[in-house]
Structure 1
Amino acid sequence: MAHRTLYMSRKVALAAAFVVAAAAVVVVNGPAIAETAQPQGFTAPASPDGEVTLLTGDRVTIRSGRPEVRPGPGREGVAFSLRTDVTGDLHVVPADAQTDLTAGRLDPRLFDVSALIRDGYDDTAGPVTPLIVTYDGPATGIAGTSDARALPSVNGYAMTADKSANFLAGARTAGVAKVWLDGPVRSTLDHSVGQVGAPQAWQSGHTGRGTTVAVLDTGVDQTHPDLADAVVESRNFTDSDTDDDRVGHGTHVAATITGSGKYQGVAPDSKVLNGKVLDDRGSGRDSTVIAGMEWAAAAGADVINMSLGSSLPSDGTDLLSQAVDRLTADTGALFVVSAGNRGPAAGTIGSPAAASSALTVGSVDRTDALADSSSRGPRPGDGAVKPEITAPGVGIVAARARNGTIGEPVGDSHVALSGTSMAAPHVAGAAAILAGQHPDWTADRLKTALTGSAEPNPARTVHEQGSGRLDVARAVRQSVTASPAVLNFGTALWPHHDDAPIVRTVTYANHGSTAITLRVDGEARGVDGRPAPGMVTASPSEVTVPAGGQADVTITTTTALDTPDGGYSGAVVASGDGTSVRTPLTVTKEIESYDVKLAFIDGEGQPTTAYSYRFDNLDRRERLLSYETGGALELRLPKGRYFFEAFVGTQQHGGALTAFPEPELVVSGKTELVMDARRGKQAAITLDKPDAQPGDVLMAIEILTEWGYTNSVTFGPTFAVQPWEPSSTSRPGRARFTVEAKLAQPDGTGRFHGSPYQYNVLWRHDGGVPDDLHRTFTDRDFAEVRTVSAAQGPGAFGFRNYLAAGPLPLRVTEYYTPGVPWTSMLSEMDPDTMYQHTKLHTALPREFEAGAPPRTEKWNAAVFSPAFPMGNEMWNERNGDYVYTNIPMFTDQAADRIGSSGSDQARTTLSRDGVVLAQTEADGYVAGAVPADKGTYELRAEVTRSGMWELSTSITSTWTFTSEHAETPTALPLLAVRFAPVLDDRNRAHAGRPFVIPVYAQRNGSPTATGVRTPEIEVSYDDGKSWQRARVGKLGERWLALVEHPADAKFVSLRAKAQDADGNTVDETIIRAYGLK
C-alpha cells in the first residue's frame, strides 16, 4: 500500500526515523519512559498542521501532530526518513534524495515540513514550489519548471517546480550544483542619532552628500516630507502592484538613514535607491532579495541596507550570504545587514547577516545596553564573530508611511519601532558619511573604520556586540583603520600542553597627513568573564604608522597556558595620539575531546554512501551531528555520553534500512564505529493464525536523557526491510526498545484485501535492543474488538488502519495488545490509486483491558458533521489576540473520533461586527489577529462534496461567541450539535415510519457540554428546499428528536440551532444527513 501515517503526540515529538512508503498507520504508543522523571517544563514543540508536496512529488500531511507520508506516482517502493530536530520541526526525506542531501546538492529546508507549512510553502499556497537552482557551469533547463529569473551573483535561476512532477529526477543533470528552496525573508522588526555621534560628524561637514544608499525593504513612501527628493530611483521586485510602502518598515529605515525634519537621519544629505524586495505583508523570498541586491549594486550604491533576514541560523554558506560576498567583491558596495531578533540565545545569526563580508548589526537601547532580542553569535560552523557592531534599535522614531500599518504613532507623521531593523540603518548612514568623506573607500575600508572606532560595552562579549556600539564621530575623526575587522583564531585541539601559538596579522593603515604612533595591547576573557593574562600578545607592542602608509602587527594567541578550556573572546586595541582602534577576536581552547571514526558497509560488504547518523548528547540538549551533515567520517567529539543512531541503506528486499542504535555510547578516548548492514537482525512474530503476515511494522528505541526525550524509529511493510543490530550498550530504565506490528491475512497481491482479521501487536524490551528479536503470542494474549464499518455510498472501499481492507460495509475482527494505548483508524480510499477520500480516527489513544470479553464497535455511522471530540485538546483557541480554528467537519456520530474528507468547495470565515477578519478556502480552518477588547464574533464554515459521497454533501455551520484578550491559550466557546441515529450498515433508516434521533452536544476544549439549552431541530426531505420542525424532548444529558419519514423520501437533511447559558450559539445545516430505504 502507498498511504502511510505516523502518530506523533503533541507532548513528545518523534526524532530520527526512516520510513518505507508501504508502511501503514503506526503509533508510538504511550508516553516516554518514566515520563514523570522528565525535566519539569520540557515539551517538544508540535509541528503545525498542513499538507506539503515534496520536491519528489511525495505528499506529507500533518494533522493534530500526526504526519502521513504518501509517495508520488510510481514511488510506492521508496523509503523515507522522518525525524524531528532540536527545535521540534519535522523533517521528511525520501531515501532517493538522501545521497544528494548528504553531498550538499539539495537544500535541507526543502524537507523541513514544519517550516514549509509555517512559512507558507504548503499545498494551499498553490501547485508549484519556488526554487533557486545554481550551476557549476552554464545554466540549462530543467523539466517541470517555469518562470525562470536569472540571478547572476549566485550563477543560478529562480524558478518554480510543478508539485505534480518529480522535480528531483529532472534536476540530476550535468552542471546543476545545488537546488535551493527560494526561502522566506522578513523584516527584522522587534536618542539615537546623537547617541552614535552623528551631529559631531555633521559639524565636521560630513553628511553623506554625494553618496547613495540602497534600501532593500518594503518600499519607501516618497511623499513623506522627511524624504522629499531623497529617492533617486525605485524598483519593485515583488508581486505587489506598487513600489510604495504599505507596511511602514522601509520608509522608517530610509528616514533613519537620510530623513530630514525633527527626527533627522544619520546621513541627511545621502540619496536613496528604493528596492522593494518585501511585499505588502513584510515578507519576501530569497530570489527577490538577491535580484534587488544585484540591481542595487549595479546601480552604483555605495552602501546597501538590508533590515531583513531568515529565522534560521546560518554558517554563511546560504545563497543570500553567497550573493553578499560575491557582490561585495565585484562592486565594492558595503552591505549593512541587521543581525536579527532571535536573542538572547547564542548562535542565532541568520541569513544574510552571516555573510563574511556583511557588516552585521546588533541592537542596543539608549543606555547602550544590548537589547534582549538582538541576535548573538558566534556564527555556526567556524565560530566567527557576528555581529561586528551594534547601534540604537529600541524605540527609534522616524517617518511614518502614509499607508503603513506598524509601529507606535508619534504625532501624525512619525512612528516608533524597535529591532535590529532599526539599528542597521544607523550604521548604513554612518557608512554613507564615511563614503562621502572618503570617496575612494570601498566595503572593506568602510567596515573596518566603523568597527575599529566602536565603543564597547564591558559587560558584553564580542559574540554579543562585536566591536561595540557605533561611534561615527570617532570614525570620522580618526585617520587609522585596522584590517581585518575581526580576528578568528579558530580552535586549538585538546590536549593543550603542546599547543603551538596561533598567529594572525593586523594591518594598520593611516590615511592622515602625519604619522601616528600606537601602543598595541591584546586581551581575552573566558566565558565566565575572567581575564586570561598572556593569552593574546602583540609584536611589536608599539608601532608607528606613517602618513599615507601602513604597518603590520603580529597578534599571537597562546592556548598552552594553564587556563580553563572553552571559548575566549576579547580585542586587540591600538591607541595613541587620540586614536583608539579596536579589533575583536575569538579563540577556542577545545574541551576534552577525541577522534571518532565512522565506517558504513552495505549488505554486500561494500563501503556505501547511503547512510545517515547522529549523536545526541545525553547530558546537554545538543545534537552534534545531523542527517544533512552526514558526509564526514572522521569526527571530533567532546568527552561524554551519547545516544548514537545510524542507518545504512541497501537494495535488498526493495530497499532495506539497517538500524544501528547505541543507547549510551561513552566517548572517553579515540573511538571507531563500524556500521555493517550484514550484522542487522530481523524481528519476527508468531501467532495462532499461521497465515497472518505483517503489513506494517514499526521498530523504535526511546531514550530518556537528562534534558528530555529522543528516539530512533524505522517502519515499513515487513521485518525484512528494517533489520536492527542489537545494541552493545544499555541504559536500563532510561531506554526502551519497541516492536509494533500490524498483521493480517494477505490476498496474494501484496495487499490485505478481504482479510477478516487484523492483529495489532506491541512488545518492549528495557535498556536497549536485545539479541533475540522473535516473539510468540496466542489469541488469548490480546483484547478482541469486532469492528463494523458502514458505507457512505456505493463503491466505497475501506481500510482498517490502512491494512485489512474491503468494500464497505466492512467487518474485521481486530486483536490488540492490552495495556498500551492504541489509535484506531478507518479510511475510505481508492483501491487502485490509494487516493484517500475520507479519514476517521480516535481522538485520543485508548487502552484495551486484558481478558475482557470481545467488544463491538460501529464506525462510519452517520451523521457526519462538525465535532469537538470528547476529552481532546482545544481544537479552536485564542492566544493573546490571535484566533485559530481547526474544526473536523466530517466526524461520524461517535463522541471520541475525528473525521475529515475531501471536498469540492470550502470556505471558513471569521468576522466581528460584520467585518471579515480572516478567511480561508478550507473547511473549518482559519487563523488571524483580532482586536484585544471584548466583542462578539461570528465563525462560519461551509463545505460541499460530491462524487462517491452520498451523505453530508453540504455542511454549513455558523457560530457566534464572545471573546477578549487571553494571556494564555483559551478555548473558544464553540458548540456542536451531534446526531446519533440507529442506522443500517449503509447508513439508512426505513422510509414511511416514525423515527427517533438521539441528539447530544459537544463543547470545544471540554469533555462535557453542560448548560446547553434544548436545541431546535428541523428536518428536510427535499435537500433543504423546505423544512419542518421536529419534536425534541430531553433525556438526561441528551435529547431525542422525533421525525416522520415520508414513504417516498430518499434522504434526510437536518438543521439545528443551540445556545448555552452565556449566549454562545451554533446554527448548523447538514444536507443528506442519512439515507432512507
Structure 2
Amino acid sequence: MKRACAATVATAAAVALAAGMTGPASAKADAKSEQQRMTSAAQKLKPAHRITLITGDRVAVDAKGRVVGLERAAGREKIPAQIRKADGHTFVVPADAARLVSSGKLDQRLFDVTELNKAATRRSQQKGLKVIVGYSGAATATKADVRDAGTLRQTLKSLNADAVQTPQKDTPELWDAVTNGDRTAAGIAHVWLDGTRKASLDKSVPQIGAPKAWAAGFDGKGVKIAVLDTGVDATHPDLKNQVIAAKNFSTATSSTDKFGHGTHVASIAAGTGAKSGGKYKGVAPGAKILNGKVLDDTGSGDDSGIIAGMEWAAEQGAQVVNLSLGGQDTPEVDPLEATVNKLSAEKGILFAIAAGNSGPETVGSPGSADAALTVGAVDDKDLLADFSSTGPRVGDGAIKPDVTAPGVDITAASAKGSVIEQEVGEKPAGYLTISGTSMATPHVAGAAAILKQEHPDWTYAEIKGALTGSAKGGKYTPFQQGSGRIQVDKAIKQTVIADPASVSFGTQQWPHTDDTPATKPLTYRNLGKTDVTLKLTATATNPKGQAAPAGFFKLAATTLKVPAGGTASVGYTVNTKLGGTLDGAYSSYVTATAGAQTVRTGAAVNREVESYDVTVKHIDKAGQPTGEYNTVLFGYAGLGNGRGYQVPTATTGITTMRLPKGTYLLDGWIAKDFTKPDMGGEGLDWVVQPKLAVTKNTSVTIDARTTKPADITVPDAAAKPLSATIDYLYDAPGIGIGVILDSFANLRMAHLGPEVTGLSQTWFGQFSKGAGAEYDAITTAKVKKIQGDKVRHFKASEFATVTNRLGSGSPNKTGGLGVIAFLPEDVGFGALVEQALPATRTLYVSTGEKVEWFLDFTQFKGKDAQGFPVPEAYYTLGNSQKVTPGGKYTRTFNTAVFGPRLLSDYGVFRDGNNIYGTIPLFADGAGNPGSSEFTSVTTTLYRNGQKVGTNDDPLFGGKAFTVPAGDAAYKLTTSVKRSVKVAQASTRIDASWTFRSKKPGVDGAQLPVSSARFNAAVGLDNKVAAGKKATFPVVVEGAARGSNLKSLSVYASYDYGKTWKKLTVKNGKITVVNPAKGAAISFHAKISDKKGNKSTISIYNAYYGK
C-alpha cells in the first residue's frame, strides 16, 4: 500500500494580472546563437497563453512557460493566491483550494501550471478542463451538479467516478459543484486532473526462453491479451487474425494505429512472425489481442480514456493487460493506480506495466501500483538499460520495478505510414527497431499469457509470483531490476512462488542505537502436487551498493518444507541497529532453491537518516486553534536540503511531521473566511520563519495575533488599490515565497525565529488614479526579518510620469496596458486595466531601487463567457527602460504605419538545414513589435527558382522549410491579411526577400534580409488630415541599413495597389499627399543591399484620411 507523504514544494514571487505580458527576464541580453535569438524574438510576438484553473481563475504564462499573470474569476477578486516552484514545476494555488490540496481531496496537478502548459495537456484540454470526480456512495445530487457543469465523457464504475470535460466558461460552476467553501461538497471523495500519459517507447524472444515454452506446448493459446496503446494495425501479416476486438477510447477518430507504438507492442506480445517467416515471432503467438486504443495519434492519452480501456478489457475477458505507457508518479494513489489494484483484485487480471524511461528513482504511474507487474528494460546481454526507470517507489520506498525484460533495439511489426515508421524507417520491410520499457513490457505480457494457458486456474498474483520468482538475477539491486530478467522457460516449470513477491519493512526511525529487530514472514506457496523442501540463502546490500553488515538481514532457517497445495513461512529479520553510521535504503535477495527450481524474493528497508518530530500549531486572531491554514517547510541545509513539505491540514490546527535534520524555511498562512467577498473581516495572516533549525524534536506556533499590517502608500489619498504583491527571496538557499492580494489592507505579517542575512523583500503596489491613470510603486531592500509592521510611504518626487498614447485599430474597441517592473534580483507585476480606445493612460512609476519598467499593450475584441477580455492585437516595448525622478516620458502603442520590423533579434534565420522567419509583420508605427489576428497567411520559399514549400506561418518562427545543405539562391515570400474589424490600417502586408544561403555552423545564421519603416505622423484613430501634404522618414532596417544600402525605391497607391506612383526619396524622407476623407494610402518599397540581396515590402491601407 502506498502511503501519502508531504509533497515537495517551493515558492517563487507571486504575481498580479499582467494580460499579454511576455517581457524579457532581464533588461540585459546575454550572447546568443542565432537560434536562441530567433526563439527569443518569437516569444515576444504572441500574447501570454491563458490556463484556466478549476476555480475559474486564469493564469497567464509566456512562451517560456513563466507565470506572468493571474486573472481572478468574478466574485473571487479578494481571494489570495500562492505561487510555488519545485523540481521545475510551478504551482498557482488560490487560498480556498490550498486546504483541499493539502488534505489530499484535490489533485495538486490541477494547479500545476507547468503540467497544464505542456503541449500534450494543452492539446487534450483545448475544449475545456478535463477532470475525474470520484464519489463516496451514491452522491446523487452532487453527481447531477457535476454533470450539469460539463460534458460527461466516461462513467468509471471501478472508481465510482465520472470523467467530465467543462468548458472554460463553466469552470466556476464545476468548482461550486465539487466544493463547499474550502471543503469538498457532500459526496465528493476526490477530484483529479484527467491528466495525459504517453507511450513509454529478433533476439529478445529466445533471450527470455519463449521457444522452450513453445516446445513444451505453451504459446498463449486461448488467452486474451489487451493491448491498451495507440491502436493495432490488424492488417499487418504478423497480426492478421490476432485482433479479435477493438475499441477507441482516445480522441482520435478510429482505433487505427497512426502512431506506430501499439502495433509494435502487440507484435512483441503475440505476433505470429508471418511476414518474416517466423523470425520476428512474438512471445505468445497463440494468444489473441484486444485492441484498446487509449492513446491518440501523437502517443498521448487521457487518464479517463485509459481507465475506460481497462474496464473494457475486463468486460471482454482479458486475462492479461499490457500498458506500455505512463506518467510521473506521486506519493498518493492516483486514479490509474487505483483502477489497476481494483481490477486485479476483483477480476483477476494481470497488468504488465512499463516502469518508464527516465532513469534512477523515476518509476512512473501506473506501474507504481501495488498489483502491477512493473517492467524495467535490459539489453541482449542482460545489462540494465540506462533509460530504464528504477525505484524505490515514491512515497513509501517500496520495491519497483518487479522484473526486467529485453527492451533495447527490439525489432517488431511496423504500422505502415505511422509516425514512428516515418521517423526511424523500416528495416527489414514491415518491421522497425526501437527501444524502451514499452518494448520490455509486452515480453512480460506474453510470458504471462503462456503461464495462464498452462495454469488457467492461477490467479494474477500467482502468475506474477512465478514470473518474479523464476527471474534471472543480475548485478543490480531490487530497486533497479526487481527480481531480475524474466525466464519464461523456467516459469513454466515453477510450482513454488513467494507470496507476496517482494517484502518491504518500511522505515525504521532514527536514532538506530535502540532499534529492535523487525521480523516479517517470507511465505512460499506450493502450487504443485508434491511437497517441496527449499534451501534458503540471503544476500544484502547497503545504500552504496556494497555488502550490508553481517546479520543486517537474517533468515530464521535455511531450509523450509512447503506442502503440496499449501504454504509455509520463514521469518526474515532486519536489524537496522547494525548499520553503523550509514543510513538510507538497504535491500536484500532471498533465494530459495529446490532442484532446478529457484525463487528469488526482494526485500527492502529504509534506515531513516537523522530526523526529528516537528509539531506545527496554528492559532487564529481570537486565540483559538484553527484548521484554516496552509503551511509549508522548505529544507535548504543539512539532510533536508532541497526538499519541501506540505503540512497536512488538521481541524485541531496541530500537525506533527517527521523531518530530516537540517535547516528549514517555514511559510505559514492563516486565512479565515476568505471565500467571502469581503474577506469576512479576517484577511490573511502570513507568518514566516526563515531559519528553523531542526536538531531536536521541535515545536513551532503560527499565531495570527502576532501579525502586523504591511502597506505601501502613494502621494494621493484618493488613489484606490488595484493589486498588491509581496515576495521574499532568501539568497543562500535560493528560496522564494510570495503572496498576491487585491490590496495591502487585507495582509498582515510576522517574523518568527532569529534574524537572518541574505533575505530580500520586494513589495509592489498598484493604485488607480481616476479612469485614465495609475500609480505603480515598487520597493526592494535587504532585510534581516519579515517586516510585518513596515509601511513604505512614497513621495511625489520619487515618481516619473509616463504618458501612454493608446491607439484603436478600429472603432469601439477596448484595450489595456500591462506593467512590469524589473529589479536586479526580482520582478513586479501590475494589473491590466481595460478601458475604451483610443485613450491616453498616464503611469506614475517609482524610480528607485534600480528599477526598469516594461510595458505592453493589448487590444480586445470583447469578453468571453466568463467576462474576461479577449485579446486580438498585442504590442510590446522591445526592452525594459529606466526612468528618472520627475522625468516625463511618452510612449505610443497601436498606431499606424503598421509593418515589418527588423531589429537584431528579428529576421530570417537558418538552423542547420531549416529556414524560417521571425518577423513582426504588423509592428506598430512607434516600432513596437507584436502581432494581431489574421484572416489569411501564405508563406512560400523557393530555392534556385523551384518551390520548396508553402505554409501558413505568419513568420512567427513556428514552421520551418527544410532545404539541402549546399549553397543556393533563395526567395522567401509572405502575404498576410487581417480583418478591418481588428484594424482598419495595414489590412494586408506582402513581402519578399532574395538571398543566398548554405548550411551554417552549429550556432546557425541570420540571413541578409531588409525592410522599410514608414514613420508617418498618424493620430490615435490611425487617420490624418485629408488632402494635406506630409513629409516623413522612410527607415531601412536589416541587412541594407546604413552604409550597406545600395538602392531604395518607394511607391504610393491610392487604389489598393492597382496603380503605383514612384516617390522621390530625399535625405531618407518622402512627401505624399494624404488620402481623401475615408480613403487610404498604400506603400511599396524595393530595397537592395551592396551584396546583391533584395527585398520588397507592400503595405496596403497604411492609414486613412479624415
Q: TM-score, normalised by structure 2?
A: 0.84
CA distance, structure 1, for counterparts of residue 355 and residue 660 of structure 2: 29
CA contact (8 A) 2:772 2:842 kept: no
SS of 1:294 mapped into structure 2: helix
How has the CA–CA distance of structure 1 residues 615 and 581 changed in structure 2, closer, same or farther, with 3 Å as cutoff? same
Match for residue 38 of structure 2?
A: none
Aligned-partner Cα distance in 1 for 2:998–2:125: 30
Q: CA deviation at 1:422?
A: 0.5
SS at match of 1:982: coil
CA separation in 2, counterparts of 1:957 and 1:192? 57
Shift of residue 1030 of structure 1?
A: 4.7
Partner of 1:474, secondary structure, is: helix
Match of residue 728 from structure 2: 701
Partners in 1 of 2:187 and 2:1033 — Cα distance?
Answer: 67
Matched, 1:520 2:536: yes
Output the CA distance in 2 between the equivalents of 1:742 and 1:592: 47
Matching residue of 1:60: 59
Could you tell me which residue of structure 2 aligns to residue 585 of structure 1? 603
- Return 355-364 or 402-411, whichever deviates more: 402-411
- Secondary structure of 1:711's match? strand
Structure 2 contact 99–649 (Cα < 8 Å) conserved: no
Alpha-carbon distance between aligned partners in 1 of 2:440 and 2:1042, rounded to the nearest angstrom = 52
Confirm or deny: 8 A CA contact 1:754 1:805 kept in the other structure.
Answer: no
Is the counterpart of residue 305 in structure 1 residue 342 in structure 2?
no
What's 1:232 paired with? 244
Asked whether 1:823 is paired with 2:854, we answer yes
Q: Is the 8 A contact 2:18 2:70 kept in 1?
A: no
Alignment of 1:122-271 (within 5 A): 122=122, 126-138=126-138, 140-141=143-144, 142=146, 143-165=148-170, 166=172, 167-172=174-179, 173-189=185-201, 191-259=203-271, 260=273, 261-271=278-288
- The worse-fitting range, judged by mean Cα deviation, of 104-113 and 1006-1015 is 1006-1015
Displacement of 1:985 after TM fit?
4.5
Partner of 2:105: 105
Deviation of the 1:200 alpha carbon: 2.5
Which of 398, 404, 407 is the aligned partner of 1:393?
Answer: 407
Which residue identity lines up with residue 635 of structure 1 in the other structure?
M
Match of 1:36 in 2: none
Give, in angstroms, the shift of residue 436 of structure 1: 1.6
3-state secondary structure, aligned to 1:823: strand
The alignment partner of 2:467 has SS state of helix
Distance 2:1092 2:199 in 1: 42
Q: 1:991 aligns with which of 1026, 1036, 1040?
A: 1026
SS of equivalent to 1:170 = helix
Q: Distance in 2 between matches of 1:247 and 1:629?
A: 44
Alpha-carbon separation, structure 2, partners of 1:686 and 1:435: 75
Note the alpha carbon deviations across 1:194-245, whole angstroms, 9 max, x for none.
2222223223332222322111112222222222322222222234343332
* In 2: Cα distance, 1:74 partner to 1:686 partner: 26
Distance 1:606 1:881 in 2: 68
1: CA distance between counterparts of 2:975 and 2:627?
Answer: 50
Q: Determine the C-alpha separation between the residues in 2 that align with 1:227 and 1:965.
A: 46
CA 507–970 in structure 1, closer or farther in 2 if over 3 Å, else same: farther
Q: Secondary structure at the match of 2:749?
A: coil
> 1:492-571 counterparts in 2 under 5 A?
492-532=508-548, 533-563=550-580, 564-571=582-589
Contact 2:948 2:963 in 1 (8 A): no
Aligned match of 1:1028: 1060
Q: After superposition, where does 1:355-504 map in structure 2 within 5 Å?
A: 355-406=369-420, 407-458=424-475, 460-504=476-520
Deviation (angstroms), 1:703? 2.1
- Distance (whole Å) between structure 2 residues aligned to residue 831 and residue 274 of structure 1: 46
CA-based RMSD of the aligned residues comes to: 3.9
Q: 1:622 to 1:182 in 2, by over 3 A?
A: same
Distance 2:1094 2:71 in 1: 39
SS in 2 for 1:320: helix
Q: Which residue of 2 aligns with 1:6?
A: none
Structure-2 change in CA distance of 1:971 and 1:490 (3 Å): farther
2:412 counterpart SS class: strand
SS at match of 2:343: helix
Deviation for aligned residue 1:394 = 0.9
**Are 1:893 and 2:925 counterparts?**
yes
1:1074 aligns with 2:1099: no
Larger CA deviation: 906-915 vs 482-491 = 906-915
Segments of structure 1 that go 5 or more residues without pairing to the other structure are 1-12, 33-45, 746-751
Instruction: Give me the whole-angstrom Cα distance separating, in 2, the residues matched to 1:966 and 1:614.
Output: 48
CA contact (8 A) 2:915 2:963 kept: no
- Shift of the 766–969 alpha-carbon distance from structure 1 to 2, 3 Å rule, reads farther
**1:597 matched residue in structure 2:** 615
1:402 alignment partner AA: K
Q: What is the distance in 1 between the residues matched to 2:154 and 2:409?
A: 38
Note if 1:713 corresponds to 2:720: no
Which structure's relative contact order is higher, taking Cα pairs within 8 Å and 6+ residues apart?
2
Residue of structure 2 equivalent to 1:741: 765
Contact kept, 8 Å, 1:919 with 1:926, in 2: the verdict is: no
Q: How many residues align?
A: 1024
Give the match's secondary structure for 2:685. Answer: strand
**Residues 1:834 and 1:575: Cα distance change in structure 2 (over 3 Å):** closer
Q: Which runs of 5+ in 2 are unaligned?
A: 1-8, 29-42, 180-184, 820-830
Whole-angstrom distance in 1 between the partners of 2:84 and 2:993: 38
CA distance in 2, matches of 1:621, 1:1011: 57
1-side partners of 2:917 and 2:369: how far apart?
A: 40
Instruction: Give the conservation status (yes or no) of the 8 Å contact 2:862–2:870.
Output: no
Distance 1:944 1:456, change over 3 A: same
Q: Which moved more, 1:103-112 or 1:282-291?
A: 103-112
| SS, match of residue 440 in structure 2 | helix
Cα pair 2:19 2:60 within 8 Å, conserved: no
Alpha-carbon shift at residue 741 of structure 1 (Å): 2.3
Q: 1:405 to 1:684 in 2, by over 3 A?
A: closer
| 1:625 and 2:634 aligned | no
Question: TM-score normalized by structure 1?
Answer: 0.86
Q: Which residue of the partner structure matches residue 810 of structure 1?
A: 840
Q: Measure, in 2, the Cα distance between the counterparts of 1:960 and 1:125.
A: 41
* Aligned-partner Cα distance in 2 for 1:515–1:1065: 90
Contact 1:19–1:79, Cα closer than 8 Å, also in 2: no
Change (3 A) 1:286 1:861: same
CA 1:679 to 1:583, structure 2 compared with 1: closer, same or farther past 3 Å?
same
The 1:829–1:193 alpha-carbon spacing in structure 2 relative to 1, beyond 3 Å, is closer
Distance 1:50 1:447 in 2: 46
Question: Could you say what secondary structure the match of 1:208 adopts?
Answer: coil
Distance 1:675 1:968, change over 3 A: farther
SS in 2 for 1:288: helix
Closer/same/farther in 2, CA of residues 19 and 405 from structure 1, 3 Å limit: closer
1:982 equivalent to 2:1013? Answer no
CA distance in structure 1 between the partners assigned to 2:24 and 2:1087 by the alignment: 39
Range moving further from structure 2, 607-616 or 882-891? 882-891
Corresponding letter in the other structure for 1:152 = K
TM superposition shift of 1:273: 1.6
Tell me, yes or no, if structure 1 residue 70 matches structure 2 residue 88: no
Q: State the one-letter code of the partner of 1:766.
A: V
Deviation at 1:553, TM superposition (A): 1.3
Matched residues, percent identical?
35
Q: How far does residue 484 in structure 1 lie from its aligned partner after superposition?
A: 0.8
> Alpha carbons of 1:240 and 1:100: their partners in 2 closer, same or farther (altered >3 Å)?
same
